[in-house]
Amino acid sequence: MKSKLTGLIAAPFTPMLEDGSLNLPMIETQANALSASGVQGAFICGTTGEGLSLTTEERLLVAEKWVATAPPQLRVIVHVGHNSLKESCELAAHAEHIGAHAIATMGSNFFRPANVEQLVQYCMEIAAAAPSLPFYFYHMPAMTGINFSMLDFLMTAGNRIPNLAGIKFTHENLMDYSQCVHFEEGRFNILFGRDEILLGSLAMGANGAVGSTYNYIAPVYLQLMTAFNAGDIRTARQHQLFAIEIISIMIRHGGLPAAKAIMKMIGIDCGPVRAPLQNLSAKQKEDLRQELKQAGMFSFLRQSGSTTPLAMA
């Protein structure tokens, strides 16, 4: 089994052209920018990457481009979740074939597993399709409606999925999170997935996290983690509060569509979102830019030595 993932793992946006087709050449720019910002990995085709809005063929192409162009130090984790188990297995086998670092899957969110045992059986088949890769379960109840104890999941799956590496834990239940982190003396890699409460997860023992805002304000979280590890909780709180303000602005302006607009503002144009998500109007984008400017995001990135061109700031 490969070493545990640590540090910041970005959940990249899938870049698209104005007509909604894939903009595959942009992926190399994204990968290089993430690596330069101190991010350790890319969790592709997940929620932020609009994975479930892409066709299987598109997901194969996106995965191939990420693996082919990411710098060696940037590890690529491919989300292979799908409501068709057969499609998930195909995506998993492909990720292994192209040399991805790991795979992850959320549970089927239309016909949902009724209990932990059913979820484990479902995951066993997907993990077995890529037996040489670390396998992560993607726990995100807010989107999937699947909300079992992840401690129970580890207890049930731990000795039945040989390549089980851990969980992408995108939930607010820090009690369950802490129990997973410390299960069997830290056997599994439990990556935290809520950017807005990263500090809370660090207090519970986190040493790796997956998030969407690591695409554009990674230096905030790196400084937060440095302060926490040095015992400077006051400074760590200040960085977390700053991140919360940026996240709040992004959410007020539409969530993922606003986040994609932010990427263009920092000079990495990931294009539009796909329906049913709705793109921001020109006025909405300008209002968003002004709020981010007032909050100090662009000046912070300049002061932190961001490598992005900050094209619209």
Give the torsion through C-alpha atoms of 312, 285, 275, 95, to 10 deg.
Answer: 30
Specify burial of residue 80 (Cβ count, 10 A radius: 0-12, 13-18, 19+).
buried
Positions marked catalytic = 138, 168
pTM of the model: 0.95
- The strand pairing partners of 42, in sequence order, are 10, 76
Average confidence (pLDDT) per 10 residues, the chain, 313 residues: 89 97 97 96 97 97 98 97 97 98 96 96 98 98 96 97 98 97 97 97 97 97 97 98 98 97 96 96 97 95 72 51
Any binding-site annotation on 48?
yes
Specify burial of residue 15 (Cβ count, 10 A radius: 0-12, 13-18, 19+).
buried
Domains of the chain: 7-217 (3.20.20.70)
User: What confidence score (pLDDT) does residue 308 get?
Assistant: 67
Question: What sign does the dihedral 246-248-250-256 (CA atoms) show?
Answer: positive
User: What confidence score (pLDDT) does residue 212 get?
Assistant: 97
Residue with tokens 């619209």: 312
Any binding-site annotation on 56?
no
Residues 194 and 201: their CA atoms lie apart, in Å, by: 9
Does residue 112 contact residue 146 with C-beta atoms inside 8 Å? yes
Residue 53 identity: S
Question: What sign does the dihedral 94-144-22-73 (CA atoms) show?
Answer: negative
User: What confidence score (pLDDT) does residue 303 get?
Assistant: 85
User: What confidence score (pLDDT) does residue 2 get?
Assistant: 72
Does residue 40 contact residue 31 with C-beta atoms inside 8 Å? no
User: What confidence score (pLDDT) does residue 1 get?
Assistant: 61
Q: Which of 167, 170, 190 minimizes the C-alpha distance to 178?
A: 190
Residues 262 and 213: their CA atoms lie apart, in Å, by: 10
